[in-house]
Amino acid sequence: MKRHPAVLGLALDGRRAEALVVRRTNGSVEAGDTVSFVFSADLATGDVAVLGAELRAQLDAAGIRERRCVVGLPLDWVMSISTPLPELPEDDIAAMLQLEAERGFPYSPDDLMIAQSRYGAQPGGAGALQLAVALERVDRIEQILRAAKLTAVSFTLAFPILAVASAGSADRAVTLAVGETSVAVAIGSGKGFAALRTIAGALDASGTAPLAKADVVARELRVTLGQVDAGLRARIERLRIVGAGPAADRLASELQSRAVALGLVVERVTAPNPAALGLGVPPGKALSGALVVATRHLAVQKAELEFLPPRLSAWQQFTSRHSSKQLAYVGMVAGVVAFLVLVAFAYQQVQLASLGTEWKGMEKRVENVTNLKTQIRRFRPWYDESFRTLGVLRRVTEAFPEDSSVTAKTIEFREAGLVVCSGTARDSAALLKTLDKLRSTTGISEVQVEQVRGKSPQQFTFNLRWDSLVRQP
């Protein structure tokens, strides 16, 4: 997993917070100064915008510009249940743990961020510790971080117990993590946790700093040890007290005699173990939740207990904002529209197929008609549909008298509409009358006499010009 060279560690505990920037350099880390402050309201109930603005103001005042952060959640937000694991296939174990989560936690699994820690080995002694944080509280932390212009890359525990024990070792200690507002007890077994719980009422806020109540802690310690496997309990030899400040010091002192009665030796831890963190830490650097979560993240070690919600895609964000009933209605409408589109497309395809079949039946005939039309257009200029010759004969015949006083023997049609007529006339008067009638006939012009011979009867030849543009009735 690729890591950025620097990250902001942020440990939350009640209304208190501590932050520092950790940067990786050649197998070790450089840590900035730790910034500790108290929010004006509880993180679980306060206004997220106000809390985010307070966090941003504290970071700006400390000169911290790093945006990517690893967050240690308050230990008193964590719920836990421990389940012995029988020898079953992994799929069956996962189903069993899911069922145990539904039975053991006071919330629905859908409302929780659940992490699992396996401990022990088969056969016998194996188990799983399931830790859960309410999803509503995790969402609040994300909103506070966004208001502070920060991006969370991991949500884990504020005091990872394995930060003081060698990773993967057979741990023989029960660990008490003393924070600003709470005390947590944890029992590790190899790489996993066998027990982890927060002790309610363990701190007394009298005086200038909260002090741990030794009697309460000792009672809860005995209860926790009694709940673990007998074989694991027999291997526990030390009581490790982790934390800085007067509360942890006083608790270590007051538990000396009580630890002897439990067969334990008290071990006070104030500095982190580089072997557990995976990277070297600056000498003399005090153990703190912010330092631990940031260093382990930079060491390319996946958090043993991860509570960061999965990143949602755009479609998942859309579906999460709408009810299932609304989505069902939208899906039904979309399905109906898609069905209608398919029906319309199918109908169109049937129509196209039918028209294609019809076209194949008439294609040959259409091709023949098209060829005939092409030939007609090609030879049309060679044909005269006006019947020009008959039209001229009709007009000339109508101009001749019905009493046969003027008769035509020949009519010759020449180019450019010129018509030459020859014949005989009884006398000049009849011929002149016929010529006058021709001159007044529509479509006839330029009537001229070429030759007249004899008196009675007379032989004549005249010509005229026929206007072919004149429409014939």
Compute the distance between CA of residue 222 and CA of residue 176 in angstroms, rounded to an integer.
Answer: 12
Instruction: Please indicate, yes or no, whether residues 432 and 296 belong to a single structural domain of this protein.
Output: no
Instruction: Please indicate, yes or no, whether residues 21 and 138 belong to a single structural domain of this protein.
Output: yes
Give the pairing of strands 418-425 and 6-13: unpaired
Give the pairing of strands 68-73 and 6-13: parallel
Residue 1 counted as domain residue: no
Instruction: Please indicate, yes or no, whether residues 293 and 399 belong to a single structural domain of this protein.
Output: no
Could you tell me which residues are beta bridge partners of residue 183? 178, 199
Residue 316 counted as domain residue: no
Residue 317 counted as domain residue: no
Give the pairing of strands 265-269 and 418-425: unpaired
Who's near 303: CB < 8 A, 6+ residues apart?
154, 156, 160, 293, 296, 297
The SS3 of residue 426 is coil
Domain containing 265 equals: 6-311
Domain endpoint, select from 380, 407, 423: 380
Compute the distance between CA of residue 162 and CA of residue 175 in angstroms, rounded to an integer.
Answer: 10
Instruction: Please indicate, yes or no, whether residues 360 and 289 belong to a single structural domain of this protein.
Output: no
CATH number of the domain enclosing 177: 3.30.420.380
Instruction: Please indicate, yes or no, whether residues 181 and 74 belong to a single structural domain of this protein.
Output: yes
Residue 472 counted as domain residue: no
Tens digit of pLDDT at every position of the chain (473 positions): 456 889 999 999 878 899 999 998 887 888 888 898 999 999 989 999 999 999 999 999 999 999 999 998 988 888 988 888 888 888 888 899 999 999 989 889 889 999 888 877 655 668 888 999 999 999 999 999 999 999 999 998 876 554 555 434 456 788 888 877 778 888 876 667 788 888 866 676 554 455 667 888 888 888 888 888 787 788 888 888 887 778 888 888 888 888 888 888 888 887 777 777 778 877 777 778 888 888 888 887 666 788 888 876 555 555 655 556 677 778 888 889 999 999 999 999 999 999 988 888 898 898 899 988 888 888 766 665 666 778 788 888 888 988 888 888 898 888 778 889 999 998 888 888 888 888 888 888 888 888 888 888 889 999 998 876 444 44
Residue 318 counted as domain residue: no
Q: Is the pTM of this model over 0.85?
A: no
Instruction: Please indicate, yes or no, whether residues 347 and 428 belong to a single structural domain of this protein.
Output: no
The number of domains in the chain is 3
Instruction: Please indicate, yes or no, whether residues 249 and 368 belong to a single structural domain of this protein.
Output: no
Instruction: Please indicate, yes or no, whether residues 34 and 55 belong to a single structural domain of this protein.
Output: yes
Instruction: Please indicate, yes or no, whether residues 57 and 142 belong to a single structural domain of this protein.
Output: yes
Instruction: Please indicate, yes or no, whether residues 126 and 169 belong to a single structural domain of this protein.
Output: yes
Phi, psi of 396, deg, nearest 5: -65, -40
Instruction: Please indicate, yes or no, whether residues 347 and 228 belong to a single structural domain of this protein.
Output: no
Residue 73 counted as domain residue: yes
Residue 279 counted as domain residue: yes
Instruction: Please indicate, yes or no, whether residues 286 and 214 belong to a single structural domain of this protein.
Output: yes
CATH number of the domain enclosing 452: 3.30.1360.100
